[in-house]
Structure formats: structure tokens, C-alpha cells
Chains A and B, each alone.
Chain A
């Protein structure tokens, strides 16, 4: 199965800063259709899990433009510009290229 590694379990940042969360895959997530099957999710206490990005770089409907997905092959990044108080949460990457679909270990954004 494909392993996704999110190196940082926690990142401490202040509101207004920019942060990048990385996700490394054990093999390329590029499919023959030219798309990368990598998505990003946000989990906040008391809220349902929210999809932020799909196909590595496409924001889902309604997601603020400060959330930016990038990367290709095996290396992917979720960047958040000008972090807002509501962005302090846990973030996961997920690959759906090959079953079993697998998640990264999660990165918790914490208030510095």
C-alpha cells in the first residue's frame, strides 16, 4: 500500500503567519489522466471533517483562497497564508490513487 508521511506532528504558529504542511508519498500519485490523487482535509473539534483540496491543487467549493495546495509526484504541500484563528486544527493528506486509500499521520496547527 502507499504510505503517506506528514513529517510534522505539530506546528506552532501565530495568527497572520504563513505555514506549510508537507506530505510525502511512498510512490507517485500521478495517474494516467494527468491528475494527482491527493486531497487535504481539516478537522476541528465539534465540526465535521472538511475537504480543502483535491487533485493536489484544486480548492473545494467555498474554501478560502488562503489555502493553497501544491506539489507533484510524491511531494505535496498545503500552505495557509495569513493563518486565521479558525485555522488551528488538524490537517490530513489522503491518497485515493490505489486501494487501500491511505492517510498521512496528521499535522496539528497550534497557537504559538
Chain B
């Protein structure tokens, strides 16, 4: 069974960096598909942040482009989100998800991790 699990600190101070890990079990992230980070703000607005492909290329939402980095550790079957210079507006629940290519939808999601940006 394919599972994605987010982990990371639940509280980050303004101006610092937010770092999250998505651990994938049941499927190798280099085998196919691309792997995204998505967040949900208080009030339910959702935002796609970016992805890393199975080959390691990345695509980011331009709204975040100067602050975001998505990387991976293939030996651990994990991928990571780093978001720099956070503000209170980055307070959200962060999800990792797998996108099924050709059919073009997110078929597996993590449970989400809530991150609060506050001093």
C-alpha cells in the first residue's frame, strides 16, 4: 500500500525557514510520477506549491519561486520542502501528494502537517 507521511516542526518563527519531509512507502519516488507539496490555509484556500519529478527536475509556483526549494533523498525515499523567509501568511496545513501522470490527478496524499508561523 502506498503511503505518504509529512513530518516537521509545527511552529516556525517569522523570517526563519520552514522545512518539511515527506516519507514515501510502498513506491519508489524515482520510478515514476511527480511529487508535490500543497498547502491549505485557514479558511480552506488550497495552493499547489511545486513538485519534484521522478528524474529530479522541479517546477515551482511562481508566487513562491524565490523562497521555495524541493529536494529529495532517493536512498531514503523521501522528498523535502524548504520555504525561506516565512511570515504569518505561511501558516497552513502542508500536504505532500503524488500526481498520476497522463491521467493528471493527485492519487495519493499525506495526512497533512499543520505549521504555524509565530514568534
Contact = CB atoms under 8 A, between A and B. Distances in A.
Contacts of A41: 106
A105 B44 CA distance: 7
- Range of interface residues on B (Cβ < 8 Å): 20 to 34
A108 interface: yes
Given A48-B111, A49-B95, A49-B97, A100 B48 contact: yes
A99 interface: yes
Interface stretch (B8-16, B18-26, B55-63, B79-87): B55-63
- Range of interface residues on A (Cβ < 8 Å): 20 to 34
Interface string B102-116: 011111111100000
Interface in B20-69: 44-48, 59, 61-63
B46 A92 contact: yes
Given A48-B111, A51-B106, A51-B107, 8 more contacts: A39-B104, A48-B109, A49-B95, A58-B103, A94-B105, A94-B106, A100-B61, A105-B44
